[in-house]
Structures are given as structure tokens and as C-alpha cells.
Amino acid sequence: MTAVAPARSGATERPAPPPRDAVLRCRGLVKRYGSTTVVDDLSLAIAPGEAYGLLGPNGAGKTTSISMLVGLLAPDAGEVEVGGHRLADAPAAFKGAVGYVPQDLALYGDLTARENLNFFGRLYGLSGRALARRVLDVLDQVRLADRADDRTETFSGGMKRRVNIAAALLHEPDLLVLDEPTVGVDPQSRTAILDGIAELNAGGMAVLYTSHYMEEVERLCDRIGILDRGRMIAEGSRRELVERLDQADRIVLDVDGDAEALARACAEAPGVRHVAHAHRQVTLMVGAGRSALPQVLVRAAEVGVAVTGAHVIEPDLEAVFLHLTGKALRDGA
Ligand SMILES: Nc1ncnc2c1ncn2[C@@H]1O[C@H](COP(=O)(O)OP(=O)(O)OP(=O)(O)O)[C@@H](O)[C@H]1O
Ligand SMILES: [Mg+2]
């Protein structure tokens, strides 16, 4: 085993600088309830077209934070700008730029999906043909056009959630803010929701997504903020966050031949911290698995061992969270 500092392997990832022309920006947001500070000095910025994930366990302050960001809850300190406008100075521009999907469902069960959306559309000042067209468009976007005229009380939880998302899209916002939209929904709706959000984002809409499901945030988001007890404890792309850990990647090789010989040959390769072998399998702990793999394959060829399978397993955001807070992301979930 050798103790070698890992090479960095993030060169192919999109870098994550703080955006300059932000669609949303907040500075120093604070919210207190009694003597408890539930959001503590939160600052973040989201660029046009960016997908930003706010990740944190139950009670971390995600809902409180985004309630302040979308203008539903007054902060005790700090300020929020949407498209350069503050809510107090330009309420119409501020609200027009943001679509908000709350954590709790807000639908009239005895109305159809279309009727619900007509209602919400009128709240946004839409009417007539323009409203009818937007309702059709958004039902299409959430893949519910075929259920437009069914009462929403007959919908599954996931379908209701999709109507809620449709409502937030009616006024064509620049930024879509979603508070844990896949909690408690069936797998089919979950996929539809995640695919739909990815599609909207690919079409240029900025997204602020909160979740305690790290795999959703990893899949959807360019940049991730980790929130714990009201504080932003880390921010960056998935790769940047994982690299902070300085944790090893794992390379698992399926081999046909002398596994022990290959293990010996790899033990001194650059970046390799630990090697283990079993019958037909060699496992290496390395600083940067993807960049170490070619070198490992060369050594396998040198010792005459055929590699029939190779997997690089990288530490995930769960590991990052555990490292930063000492607790699992899913605590209490
Ligand atoms: N109106 C309120 N009065 C008092 N405390 C509140 C209020 N709203 C939220 N809190 C507290 O603030 C903290 C953060 O709550 P918040 O709902 O923002 O967390 P969250 O990250 O959204 O959690 P979850 O994943 O469960 O939705 C919690 O401890 C909560 O009990
Ligand atoms: Mg919440």
C-alpha cells in the first residue's frame, strides 16, 4: 500500500463559478423562529438555464429558504433579487419570473385538471384563448393531456404533483422552484417528473430543486448546495464536492488469471492506496479511479492477466454529507 496524493480528475466536468447575471440571487438570508435560527446567512445565485440543487435532511431549512426566495416568507435579514428585481420594488417582475411548486399539494379535488389550471392561470392574469392554450401546453409538458378533463381527486399522488408543476409553468417563468416534488409519488410519476424537469431545463429554464434524495440532485443539477441546520455547508458541482472529501475511488476488476499477481503489480502504481484480491476479482482503492484505470490495465497485460470487467465506483453525495456533518442524509426521512 502506498500513500500517494490523488490526482484530480474533474477536467471534463463543467466548472461551477458563481453566476454573474443571475436569474436569482440572495445574500445573507436569515430566518428565526423564537430563539432558533432555521436559516442562517444563506447566500446563493442561480444563472439563467442552470439547475441548482438544494440538498439537506428533514428540517435542514430547505422549505423555509425557498419560501423566502420566492417571496412567500419575509426574511429577518438579507435580500433576494429575481432577474435583478427585489420583490418590494418590482413585485410583478419578481413574481412573473418565478414558478413555485410547493411541498404541500394545492389543488381542488372536485375540479378537473384543466379547471384547476384555468383557476391558477387567472391568478397569474391569463385569460381567454391565451389561457386555454397555455393550459394545453403545460398539461402536455407534464404528460397529463389525456387526463385533462378528469377530476383531480381521482388522480394518484404523483399525478396531482404533476398538475401542481403544470400550474407553476403557466406564466412561463424563467426559474422553476420545486420543493421535494417526488416525495410520496409512484415510480412512474417520479420518472415523468424528473424527465419533465430535465427537459424544461434543457430548454433553457433555470431550476431550483430541493430534495433529500441525493441521486435526484446528482442526476438533475449542475450545482449543488448542501444545507444542514440552516447553514450552507458546501457548494459546488457533484465532482467538486466529492473531490473535497479526498476519498478514494474503488476500481473493481473481474479477472481471468492470477488475481494475486495482478494485485501485486498494481500495488505500486501511482495513486493506488490499497489493493485486495479474491478469486477472479481485484479491488483497488485509488485517488482518481477513471484516470488510474488505463495504467492498471497496462499492468494486467504485463503480468498476463485478462481483465473481463472493470468498474470505477466513485464516492457519492451521501458520503460527502456524512463526511461534513457526521450523519446520514436520510436521517429521519
Ligand atoms: N412556522 C414555523 N414556526 C416554527 N418553526 C418552524 C416553522 N417553519 C419551520 N420551522 C422549523 O424550521 C426548521 C426548518 O424547517 P423546514 O421546513 O424549512 O425544513 P426542510 O428542510 O424543508 O425539511 P423537510 O425535508 O422535512 O421538508 C425545522 O426545525 C422546523 O421545525
Ligand atoms: Mg421542506
**Helix 128-141 with 187-202: angle, nearest 10 deg:** 120
pLDDT at 19 over 80: no
Quote the ligand 1 centre to 103 CA distance (angstroms).
12
Which domains, and CATH codes, for the chain?
24-243 (3.40.50.300), 248-314 (3.30.70.100)
Tell me what the mean pLDDT of segment 82-92 comes to: 89
Distance, CA of 134 to CA of 13 (rounded, Å): 36
- The Cβ-side half-sphere exposure at 194, using a 13 Å CA radius, reads 18
3-state class percentages of the chain: helix first, strand second, coil last, to nearest 5: 35, 25, 35
Atom 6, ligand 1: which residue's CA is nearest? Answer: 33
Average pLDDT estimate for 104-118: 92
pTM for the full predicted model: 0.79
DSSP-derived secondary structure for 127-144 = -HHHHHHHHHHHHHHTT-
pLDDT tens, 284-293?
Answer: 888 877 888 8
Residue 316's φ and ψ, nearest 5 degrees, are: -110, -175
Question: What single DSSP character describes residue 175?
Answer: E
Identify the weakest region by mean pLDDT among 208-217, 290-299, 310-319: 310-319
Ligand number, closest to the Cα atom of 179? 2
CA proximity to 99, closest of 18, 183, 205, 194: 205
When the pLDDT of each residue in the chain is averaged and rounded to a whole number, the result is: 87
The pLDDT assigned to 242 comes to 81
Ligand 1 is surrounded, with C-beta below 6 A, by 33, 38, 56, 58-64, 103, 212
